[in-house]
Structure 1
Amino acid sequence: MDNENKNNNNVPKDLLVPLERKEDTSDKISRPSRTFMQDARRTFFKNKLAMLCVFILIIISIMSIVGPGMNDYGLDDQDLSRAKMPPHVPVLEKISWLGFDGTLTDEFKGKDIEEATKNAVARYGNDADFIDIKELDKGDGSAKSAEVQATYHIYEAKDMNDQYFWLGTDTLGRDQWTRLWLGTRVSLIIALVAAAIDLVIGVAYGGVSAFYGGRVDNVMQRILEVLVGIPNLVVILLMILVLQPGILSIIIALTITGWIGMARIVRGEILKLKSQEFVLAARTLGTSNGKIISRHLVPNISGIIIINTMFTIPSAIFFEAFLSFIGLGLVPPEASLGTLINTGFENLRLYPYLLVFPAVLISVIMITFNLIGDGLRDAFDPKMHK
């Protein structure tokens, strides 16, 4: 042992380097952990289709605000002399196949070319000087065998080449561009009201019913079952007997029955959560029932609430459009997508543009909301987080 100590003393001290003690990083987290909501937001932002729909919806919402002010025609600015004018857009009028050149085109039949041409001229008010005829089928002399295509330059015929109606005019000469975006605004307002009703009445009713349970839940659910048995259309008819058809009647009908689905979903989720340990701990600490519902239970089902709300909005838009289409919604001259579709349906064969634009817009709105709802559903699904 003494020899070993002597050998150690002979070792040069410059070879002895003190060992630096390093922190053990085997269990260290390389990056900060994210909350569930942060993970959901990250997953949603990665969904390119959902983000595209959000962008489209933002553009539509902005246009519903600024769109009616982009030209000089108001909601009630009507003139029968310019009724049923086709779309006429600057620059785009030079590209005829886009359909914005301000002409009306249709096909006419007759026994021969001469008769088919007369039918076309008669259809467009005998303005033969402004009608271009193109022969499609000369026929063989049989009944209605000849066919021509007639293009009517209505803006030239009415000396209105310097006027532009971007989406045409309706049967009373009102600008369709203005009415389309005003109608979109009305439909979005009703949709947002329906969502607010779901969030306020539906969440509160379902939460209270499930949390207190027992006799309270029994009574509240019996009331809910009575309301479920009342169709929305019946409620609307009752509102019309008391009030005038319009936005107020639709909002009242949604207030009476529109929140039932949300209430049932919230009740089912809170029934699963109210016996969890974190709720029992909150009760033990003396937290009031209202705070337990608002701070502990509702935040834990926020994902389901958001998703269900996003699917409620297109249903409300369709509900309003359906009521306006059958004459139980808004009353002209007020505009909504439903009233515009109704007007277009009545003139579908002769003036299809009156139906195409509002029908396409309401379809886009409903599709975007549904795809955003799908994106949120995936975002709030823990299995989808990576």
Structure 2
Amino acid sequence: MENNNLNNLPKELFKPLVRKEDTSETISKPSRTFGQEARRTLLKNKPAIISLILLIIIIIMSIVGPHMSEYGNDDQNLSRAKLPPHAPGLEKISWLGFDGTLTDDFKGSTVEEAKRKAIARFDNQEKFIDFKVKSKGNGERNSAEVEATYHVYDAKGMGDQYFWLGTDHLGRDQWTRLWLGTRVSLIIAFVAAILDLLIGVTYGGISGFFGGKVDNYMQRVIEVLVGIPNLVIILLMMLFMQPGIMSIVIALAITGWTGMARIVRGEVMKVKNQEFVLAARTLGTSNGSIIRKHLLPNISGIIIVNTMFSIPSAVFFEAFLSFIGLGIVPPNASLGSLINIGFQNLRIYPHLLVYPAILISLIMITFNILGDGLRDAFDPKMHK
């Protein structure tokens, strides 16, 4: 009965089945290597790329910047000491702060008294001072207030001279010293980071790869070094060496690599027991080849990221040492020594502190943002 019903169905309801190729395992996107995926992820991270561009500009300026000014690093002249920024083309825009003037507020019981304080403060050059009364007062103490703008370049007969970022307390060009100081700070940071990379990766790799007693003894050495503060090492270095770049680099190299060594040791211990390493051992691959061809490529991401984060730490450590007088020796400059000079003159000459502080902050922020971008780029879970 059922067969008869099927035979009575119209043939139009039936269509021949066309066999199609199975596409369930077809690769819809081009195959990429791990490095290509990491580069692709990094390029999609706009903050990291902007930070990379800014760092490249800062590095280039640290090389060519000092040569853009006619004044040398130690070109002293007390007659032009503590001049404010005076830049060609920007001197007409007063709010940018490059017009070559000093501005401050002065208070007194009367407007005249406030003006007298301003005149005394600005070398009694009344004809080069512009006053703006902010409060006339009512006779009470410090109830009157005036804003005084001192045209210091005109007062010194230097209206045709330009110091783009002003001068310091000895009349030295801040533009030249700022970029030379940046160069010194970056050299110390990069050298310290390279030493951390070489020593830390080698030490941590050997400790994690061989394990056992070798690992036990090597980790005890790290624990001893970690317990020694960097500042103590710097003071010991100063007993045997002159303060400067070499003593700072050595102090950073003595203990700075311990963090890298611990990270590499943990990653090596995790990777060395995986199947591809065991297969290489089974095929008789030597330990050196296993380390070079299997372990290092698989932990390269964490090594690069940790190195990127160690650079701003070294920049800050050098700046701290120079700020407390244990770093770069005058007349050489670093960002820390420039910040120290600016801090001593912050109230009246803020430009001595503002520009090196902005630059060191920019360096540290961009390195950290770039480090975050590299960490995401070398994380396979972030690849889409």
Q: TM-score range by the shorter chain?
A: over 0.9
Query: Secondary structure, in 3 states, of the residue corresponding to 1:290?
Result: helix
Partners of 1:302 and 1:145 in 2: how far apart?
66
131-140 vs 79-88, which deviates more? Answer: 131-140
Partners of 2:34 and 2:189 in 1: how far apart?
28
> Once the 2 structures are TM-superposed, how far is the Cα of residue 28 of structure 1 from its aligned partner?
3.6
CA offset digits 1:121-170 (Å, max 9, x no partner): 00011011101111111111111211111100000001101110000000
Q: 2:136 maps to what in 1?
A: 138
Partners of 2:331 and 2:84 in 1: how far apart?
20
CA offset digits 1:222-249 (Å, max 9, x no partner): 1111001100000000001111111111
CA offset digits 1:192-223 (Å, max 9, x no partner): 11210121000000000010111111110111
Partners of 1:31 and 1:108 in 2: how far apart?
70
> Once the 2 structures are TM-superposed, how far is the Cα of residue 377 of structure 1 from its aligned partner?
1.2
Report the identity percentage.
75
> Once the 2 structures are TM-superposed, how far is the Cα of residue 255 of structure 1 from its aligned partner?
1.1
Partners of 2:239 and 2:338 in 1: how far apart?
24
Q: 2:72 maps to what in 1?
A: 74
Amino acid at match of 1:91: G
Q: 1:3 maps to what in 2?
A: none
Partners of 2:24 and 2:378 in 1: how far apart?
31
Q: 1:335 maps to what in 2?
A: 333
Query: Secondary structure, in 3 states, of the residue corresponding to 2:91?
Result: helix
Partners of 1:137 and 1:103 in 2: how far apart?
22
> Once the 2 structures are TM-superposed, how far is the Cα of residue 287 of structure 1 from its aligned partner?
2.1
Q: 1:197 maps to what in 2?
A: 195
> Once the 2 structures are TM-superposed, how far is the Cα of residue 286 of structure 1 from its aligned partner?
2.3
Partners of 1:289 and 1:77 in 2: how far apart?
57
Partners of 1:294 and 1:246 in 2: how far apart?
36
> Once the 2 structures are TM-superposed, how far is the Cα of residue 382 of structure 1 from its aligned partner?
1.9
1:301-340 counterparts in 2 under 5 A? 301-340=299-338
Partners of 1:361 and 1:300 in 2: how far apart?
35
Unaligned runs of 5+ in 1: 1-20
Query: Secondary structure, in 3 states, of the residue corresponding to 1:93?
Result: coil
Partners of 1:144 and 1:251 in 2: how far apart?
52
CA offset digits 1:5-48 (Å, max 9, x no partner): xxxxxxxxxxxxxxxx9987664424431112211110010001
Q: 2:216 maps to what in 1?
A: 218
Q: 1:10 maps to what in 2?
A: none
Partners of 2:326 and 2:291 in 1: how far apart?
39
Partners of 1:133 and 1:263 in 2: how far apart?
62
Partners of 2:294 and 2:252 in 1: how far apart?
28
Partners of 1:71 and 1:336 in 2: how far apart?
18
> Once the 2 structures are TM-superposed, how far is the Cα of residue 280 of structure 1 from its aligned partner?
1.6
1:1-386 counterparts in 2 under 5 A? 27-386=25-384
Amino acid at match of 2:255: T
Amino acid at match of 2:59: S
Partners of 2:117 and 2:178 in 1: how far apart?
33
Amino acid at match of 1:49: P
Amino acid at match of 1:193: V
* Number of residue-to-residue matches in the alignment: 367
Query: Secondary structure, in 3 states, of the residue corresponding to 1:62?
Result: helix
Query: Secondary structure, in 3 states, of the residue corresponding to 1:375?
Result: helix
Amino acid at match of 1:71: S
Q: Could you state the TM-score of these two structures normalised by the residue count of structure 2?
A: 0.93
Partners of 2:138 and 2:194 in 1: how far apart?
66
Partners of 1:290 and 1:26 in 2: how far apart?
42
Q: 1:4 maps to what in 2?
A: none
Query: Secondary structure, in 3 states, of the residue corresponding to 1:301?
Result: helix
Query: Secondary structure, in 3 states, of the residue corresponding to 1:251?
Result: helix
Partners of 1:32 and 1:95 in 2: how far apart?
54
Amino acid at match of 1:312: S
Amino acid at match of 2:256: G
Partners of 2:54 and 2:381 in 1: how far apart?
28
Query: Secondary structure, in 3 states, of the residue corresponding to 1:92?
Result: coil
Partners of 2:365 and 2:108 in 1: how far apart?
43
Partners of 2:366 and 2:248 in 1: how far apart?
23
